[in-house]
Structure 1
Amino acid sequence: MDEGWIKLHRAIRKNWIWEDPLKLKWWLDILLQANHQERKILIGNEIVLIERGSFHTSTVKLSERWSVDRKTVKKFLQLLQKDNMITLKTSKKGTTLKISNYKDYQAFSEPQKDKGVDNSMDKGMDKGMDNSVPTPSPDKSQISPNKVDTNKNEEELKNENNDKEGEEGEEITPPSPPPLSIPTKYHKLIFDQWSEITYRTWFMDSEIVDNGQELIIKVDSELRADAINRNFSKYLGILLGKNIRVEIKEKSI
């Protein structure tokens, strides 16, 4: 497919694939090769329907196309599949590659908020670049992919910390946010991957410890622990190549 165009959301810059120029090039080539509408092709003596967002290929073809060995291609495709960015159907006649949630962020119409269509690549983190940066969220990660939806949890956190409400008719001046704190290289990495609001809400007050085998994130509430586990742990694990464990800090008496 050498004609036409594809959509590319700016959130791809938050996905792990953005950090590797070569893998990013391969990913974009996959997006460009995918069928924009379903069609039938002849494979051997069999007519096969290739869905929209899919294309039929092989590790041999991709290795020649990308000028790398088949082992490198296979590892890359497995990485994409592990992060739910693609699904693979392999047979003796080749491999059918399908981009996850292709229809959501490659729709021809403009985003329709009333229909709940989310064109963010942040989904790619958790649902295969539903998206490319994805909010990741890390069914929100393309860094995709699966979108991290923290609006509801952030509102709950605000209510949890709001001990006093202003009386009716009283003018309330919102407090200034605390100074930004980035104590470790892992805090810095998290801050760079997501927005400042996301970092302040879920990670700034956490303790992050690397024991060599795993990264331990200690937070002060079950709400934060649950949000990190559901929306961020998977993507962080892939990004760092470590197991991520979230713990709740022991409260001092």
Structure 2
Amino acid sequence: MSTGWIKLHRKILEHELWNDVNTFRLFTFLVMRASHCDGFKINGVVLNKGQYVRSYSKLCEDLAYKEGRGLKNISKSTIIRSIKKLVSNGMVTISDTKHGTLFTVVKYESYQEVKGDKETEPRTIHGPFVDRSRTEAGPKPDPYQELKNLSIKEFKEEEEKSPVGNDSPFQQIEDKYLSRRGGGLMITPNDAQAIERIIQEHIPLEDILVWIDEIFDQYRPRHRADGIKSFSYLEKGILDRWHAKQNPPSNISEFKPKRQQDNLSVLEAYAKENGIKFGGG
């Protein structure tokens, strides 16, 4: 599976996947690594055409990118979101094995096979989540159940981890925001800019993550369609809390001390007024 070539149709440029860098890289990686024939054996697992077995941790390493002089691994939560997107779009199916997750590229055979000189349409990109290849092993999985199982298994594991890990500050803030927002798998360019502005304020990451939870917990939606839809809303709340932390109110009220007259001055004035000698001489 490390030699040869694969087909990639130009129509992928028109698909939303093209603008999602991590998901696009994951999909092309799975296509490139998938078995090109039935009966291919790897690590004791027999694969059919279009299948590949890999753990999420290994995928984080597989999709590492260059940062500075070293390589930066993709976070596990990013991998999970990308897998969910591929599953929900009917591009891959997943199932658990003792060796890792079994990925099956939907309709791999129909668009990777060469049939004469005729170009084959990449129906994986645009086709529905039905009519899977006959080479898939086992019963046809329900895509909704796949997503549910993935959410239960993987996101529960992520939530149990410490909020501050090996991910970049941007990634941790993005993950926290997406997990609390509860809808959508990606942030907008405006969200990304707002996160960058918060990072540039040099606010401790621990505070940012706590305040994101706090803002969501305190938000009171006006109706069922109301909610926090952008990170800009969180940005203001975070900045307000950071300013308050930097400038705590004093518990001692400021006051001007009462002016007290000197006792000797009072006696001297009284003596002068009444013709009484005051002091020596």
TM-score (norm 1): 0.44
- Structure ranking higher in helix proportion: 2
TM-score (norm 2): 0.40
Q: Based on CA coordinates, which of the two structures has the bigger radius of gyration?
A: 2
